[in-house]
Amino acid sequence: MEKQVTIYDLARALNLSTATISRALDDSPLVKPKTREKIRAMADKMGYRQNLIASNLRKQQSRTIGVLLHEVNSYFSTSVLAGIEKITTREKYDILIAHSGEDGEREIANTRNLFNKRVDGLIVSLAMSTVATDHFNPFFEQGIPVVFFDRVAKKMPCNKIVIDNFKAGYEATTHLLQQGYRRIAHITASLQRNVYEDRFRGYKKALTDHHIRFDPLLVESCSLNREDTLAVMHQLLKQKPDAFFITNDFAAAVCMDELQRSGIRIPEDIGMMGFNNDILGSLINPRLSTIDYPGTRMGETAAQMLIDKIKTKKNGKATAEHKSVIISSTLLIRESSVKKARQRRGHK
Amino acid sequence: MEKQVTIYDLARALNLSTATISRALDDSPLVKPKTREKIRAMADKMGYRQNLIASNLRKQQSRTIGVLLHEVNSYFSTSVLAGIEKITTREKYDILIAHSGEDGEREIANTRNLFNKRVDGLIVSLAMSTVATDHFNPFFEQGIPVVFFDRVAKKMPCNKIVIDNFKAGYEATTHLLQQGYRRIAHITASLQRNVYEDRFRGYKKALTDHHIRFDPLLVESCSLNREDTLAVMHQLLKQKPDAFFITNDFAAAVCMDELQRSGIRIPEDIGMMGFNNDILGSLINPRLSTIDYPGTRMGETAAQMLIDKIKTKKNGKATAEHKSVIISSTLLIRESSVKKARQRRGHK
DNA sequence: TTGAAAGCGCTAACAC
DNA sequence: GTGTTAGCGCTTTCAA
């Protein structure tokens, strides 16, 4: 391992001070253009690379943002990441991604770790099994900006980016009702999480608004993985539902597949409605109706909001305000929920 | 923003030296258990958190591994990441993920950035459009370990983790031939990349081994996104193929959907074979035959190999050896390529 | 078993 | 425009 070239080496080689070198490499207007050129040239020649660790120590910053996700293996998660990355790249921040695998304990460990890493800010979507939120206190106490997105803690006073899950759940259910479905089963996940609870409330409200009695037997909650989803689906089938509103496209696709393989026609016998607009839904037959969930925009908004907070904090202005941004989602009606005549593939 | 508690604060509070504090917090056997306890207690009480930036500067390491991916939005990528993460978490390394969006230019920029961040090692899968590989030279010159996986640079002398793409391509094609398909079209991507080239060679070899003349008109290469894939599929259709071997499951699903919607039956009229074993393939009808690609194991192996190299390097032993590991992949025969009687869903 | 002190590479306040 | 210098918070050698 060769020795790294430092600004001291450059200073010595050029008979200048490290201060000038540092300024030049930072494009400071304080240094004469000619000097700067000389320094740049020498830096190139000697193979100099800035040591960001030293720089960060000195500047008391990491120029790194922590991203705490519940999972990374969904289309939604990667969309959000893409959005975050777009902004952070532009603003020259790095991101440290930690995911909890839906486990509250791991979320706590990850939070601690990111804190120790001195991230300049944190973007979070809560794990399924998270209960308390004390593990974020160190951030609040140190005034390190935190932005929650999607799965947020309801009563926590801080910045949030969400969609209107209540409205989306309401619209999805209403659409199914308008298509003539009457016994709409709902597969959801932990009602501790705002997203699922709000959608569930939307579902109930839509039912009552259409004078349909809410039947608790038509609702099951599970982890949303393949196995669990199929188990609760079979459970719900005993209640003879004529439609499913499933809070996640992957789970909906799993159900559709299973139902179709047992001879049930979709949407004729059973209507199907997902949530999230995973690409998956556009590749199955019939195409899955869903709620379009703007992951990339959420990520962009969260990152921009966080970086703005970091910047204003640097300027000494403590911003105690806690903005909540609601990103608009839209009902995407495709084939799985529309009863009227439709061209089935393979039967031209 | 409150002031951070440092080891100086602890030293003052306990009338000890910073050296002792540092040792105690590092669980050094040099410090008396009693002293250690006292220090731990005080650290907790005062809310001390280690400043890893300072620690890293001093230790001349970052305890961070850079991961350079071509894309993150596939099941394969997230599997690899999961594998890498499993190992790095255990070994207490952080990972900095950068992706190039298949763009060679961005790959170069990301490589530079990770180098400046002083990552202790690098795990790489090349972008589609990468040509030269000079941008990795700084790592080689500094003796910073680099491990390539999946999309590797053939002639580059360094550690690699791959599957036997030639064999997989051969087996996939042979299977289609055994099912009676004769005009097998192949949709591939940049043949600059070993993975696609090797699969293509396997495809050709299988054909000639079965006394079928290789027809260049049956092969098209594209970016594998939806649009491009459909375009080349329609192009190939003019050659009246009776099967498709497509180098990626997503692209295969897109084609299947399009073909089926135009009334073509799969596998009866056209057989279909993908590559990668994306979950997607198990949720479409018919289920997609494919090559099972062990992403998680690849990630684990790459991470472990890299960390081993980092460790041996620390011990001063420069390891010039360049291991190549081949992870085994398996042919996964499902419905899309099997002509014999099969229960179509919806027709019990 | 503990302490003193040097220094990792950089930045920025202050001086010239 | 440029230089001097004092740290950022930690680890580690050497001495006690």
Q: Structure tokens of A168?
A: 């989306």
pLDDT value at residue A155: 84
Q: How far is the CA of A61 from the C1' of C6 (A)?
A: 25
Within a domain: B57? no
Q: Are residues B174 and B311 located together in one domain of the fold?
A: no
Number of domains comprising chain A: 3
Count of Cβ atoms closer than 10 Å to residue A3 Cβ: 7
Rounded to an integer, what distance in angstroms lies between the CA atom of residue B101 and that of residue B122?
A: 18
| Domain CATH for A30 | 1.10.260.40
Q: Are residues B79 and B154 located together in one domain of the fold?
A: yes
Q: Are residues A307 and A158 located together in one domain of the fold?
A: yes
The torsion region of residue B63 among left (phi > 0), alpha (psi -120 to 50) and beta comes to: left
Report phi then psi at B100, rounded to 5. Answer: -100, -5
CB pairs under 8 A, 24+ apart, for B161-164? B161/B298, B161/B301, B161/B302, B161/B305, B161/B324, B161/B325, B161/B327, B162/B194, B162/B195, B162/B324, B162/B325, B162/B326, B162/B327, B163/B293, B163/B294, B163/B298, B163/B326, B163/B327, B163/B328, B163/B329, B164/B198, B164/B326, B164/B328, B164/B329
| Domain CATH for A206 | 3.40.50.2300
Per DSSP, which regions of A274-332 are E strands? 290-292, 324-327, 330-332
Rounded to an integer, what distance in angstroms lies between the CA atom of residue A124 and that of residue A147?
A: 6
Partners of B327 in the β-ladder: B163
B-chain CB neighbours of A257 within 8 Å are 283, 285, 345
pLDDT value at residue B257: 97
Within a domain: B1? no
The chain B residue lying nearest A314, using CA atoms, is B1
- Taking each helix axis from N to C terminus, what angle separates B295-314 and B75-90, rounded to the nearest 10 degrees? 40
Closest CA to B287 of A97, A257, A39: A257
Q: What is the CA radius of gyration of chain B?
A: 26
- Shortest-distance nucleotide from A33 CA to C1': D1
Query: Are B75 and A75 in contact (CB < 8 Å)?
Result: no
- Report residues of chain B scoring pLDDT below 70: 1-3, 314-320, 341-348
Q: Are residues B154 and B24 located together in one domain of the fold?
A: no
Work out the burial of residue B212: count CB atoms within 10 Å of its CB; fewer than 13 is exposed, 13-18 middle, 19 or more buried.
Answer: middle
pLDDT value at residue B308: 92
Work out the burial of residue B230: count CB atoms within 10 Å of its CB; fewer than 13 is exposed, 13-18 middle, 19 or more buried.
Answer: middle
Residue nearest to nucleotide C3 (CA to C1'): B17
Q: Are residues A321 and A337 located together in one domain of the fold?
A: no
Closest CA to A252 of A217, A207, A282: A282
Q: Are residues B231 and B280 located together in one domain of the fold?
A: yes
Query: Are B346 and A260 in contact (CB < 8 Å)?
Result: yes
Within a domain: A133? yes
Q: Which amino acid is at A217?
A: L
Specify the pairing of strand B330-332 against strand B290-292: antiparallel
Q: Structure tokens of A36?
A: 């700067």
With the C-alpha atoms ordered A341, B285, B268, A334, is the resulting torsion angle positive or negative?
positive
- Shortest-distance nucleotide from B7 CA to C1': D9
**B119 secondary structure, DSSP code:** -
Q: Are residues A192 and A283 located together in one domain of the fold?
A: yes
Residues 55-114 of B with CB under 7 A from strand D: 55, 57-59
Nearest by CB to residue A257, choosing from B57, B95, B283, is B283
Terminal-to-terminal C-alpha distance of chain B: 67
Specify whether the CB–CB gap between B252 and B276 falls below 8 A: no
Q: Are residues A22 and A143 located together in one domain of the fold?
A: no
> In this structure, is the CB of residue A142 within 7 Å of any atom belonging to strand D?
no
Query: Are B117 and A94 in contact (CB < 8 Å)?
Result: yes
The chain B residue lying nearest A64, using CA atoms, is B96
Sequence-distant (6+) residues with CB within 8 A of B232 are: B187, B220, B221, B222
Query: Are A142 and B4 in contact (CB < 8 Å)?
Result: yes
Q: Are residues B37 and B74 located together in one domain of the fold?
A: no
pLDDT value at residue A317: 58
Query: Are A116 and B52 in contact (CB < 8 Å)?
Result: yes
Q: What is the largest CA-CA distance in chain A?
A: 85
pLDDT value at residue A344: 46
Rounded to an integer, what distance in angstroms lies between the CA atom of residue B326 and that of residue B297?
A: 11
Q: Are residues B336 and B223 located together in one domain of the fold?
A: yes
- Report residues of chain A scoring pLDDT below 70: 1-3, 315-320, 341-348
Q: Are residues A252 and A340 located together in one domain of the fold?
A: yes
Within a domain: A1? no
The chain B residue lying nearest A315, using CA atoms, is B1
- Shortest-distance nucleotide from B35 CA to C1': C1
- This prediction has a pTM of 0.90
Per-window interface: B 59-118 vs A, CB < 8 A: 62, 72-73, 75, 78-79, 81-82, 85, 94-97, 99, 113, 115-118
| Residue B314, CA atoms < 13 Å, CB-side half-sphere | 12
Is A2 touching B (CB cutoff 8 A)?
A: yes
Rounded to an integer, what distance in angstroms lies between the CA atom of residue A183 and that of residue A196?
A: 20
Residue nearest to nucleotide D2 (CA to C1'): A20
Work out the burial of residue B191: count CB atoms within 10 Å of its CB; fewer than 13 is exposed, 13-18 middle, 19 or more buried.
Answer: middle
Sequence-distant (6+) residues with CB within 8 A of B141 are: A2, A47
Rounded to an integer, what distance in angstroms lies between the CA atom of residue B210 and that of residue A238?
A: 53
Rounded to an integer, what distance in angstroms lies between the CA atom of residue A134 and that of residue A158?
A: 14
Q: Which amino acid is at B36?
A: R
Mean pLDDT, chain B, integer: 92
Sequence-distant (6+) residues with CB within 8 A of A296 are: A79, A80, A82, A83, A86
Q: Are residues A248 and A323 located together in one domain of the fold?
A: no
Specify whether the CB–CB gap between A271 and A260 falls below 8 A: no
pLDDT value at residue A118: 87
Within a domain: B40? yes
Nucleic chain C contacts, Cβ below 7 Å: A 4, 6-8, 18-19, 22, 25-26, 50-51, 54-55, 57-59; B 15-20, 23, 30-33, 35, 54, 57-58, 60
Within a domain: B56? no
The chain B residue lying nearest A268, using CA atoms, is B346
Query: Are A280 and B280 in contact (CB < 8 Å)?
Result: yes
Within a domain: B2? no
CA distances from A7 to A10, A20, A38, A115 (A): 5, 9, 14, 30
Query: Are A118 and B265 in contact (CB < 8 Å)?
Result: no
Per-window interface: B 261-280 vs A, CB < 8 A: 261-263, 265, 279-280
Query: Strand C: which bases are under 7 Å from protein Cβ?
Result: 1-13
Report phi then psi at B17, rounded to 5. Answer: -90, 160
Q: How far is the CA of A19 from the C1' of C10 (A)?
A: 9
Specify whether the CB–CB gap between A337 and A287 falls below 8 A: no
CA distance A337 to chain B (A): 17
Angle at B176 between CA B173 and CA B181, to 5 degrees: 120
Q: Which of B48, B49, B58, B283 would best serve as a mutation to test chain A binding (most A beta carbons within 10 A)?
A: B283
Rounded to an integer, what distance in angstroms lies between the CA atom of residue B20 and that of residue B16?
A: 7
Range of the domain at B94: 64-162+295-327
Nearest by CB to residue B118, choosing from A51, A79, A261, is A51
**A51 secondary structure, DSSP code:** -
A86: helix, strand or coil: helix
Interchain CB contacts (distance < 8 Å): A and B: 124
- Nearest 10 degrees: CA dihedral of B240, B246, B249, B253? -10
Strand order of the sheet with strand B159-163?
A324-327, A159-163, A146-149, A121-124, A64-69, A94-99, B94-99, B64-69, B121-124, B146-149, B159-163, B324-327
Within a domain: A58? no
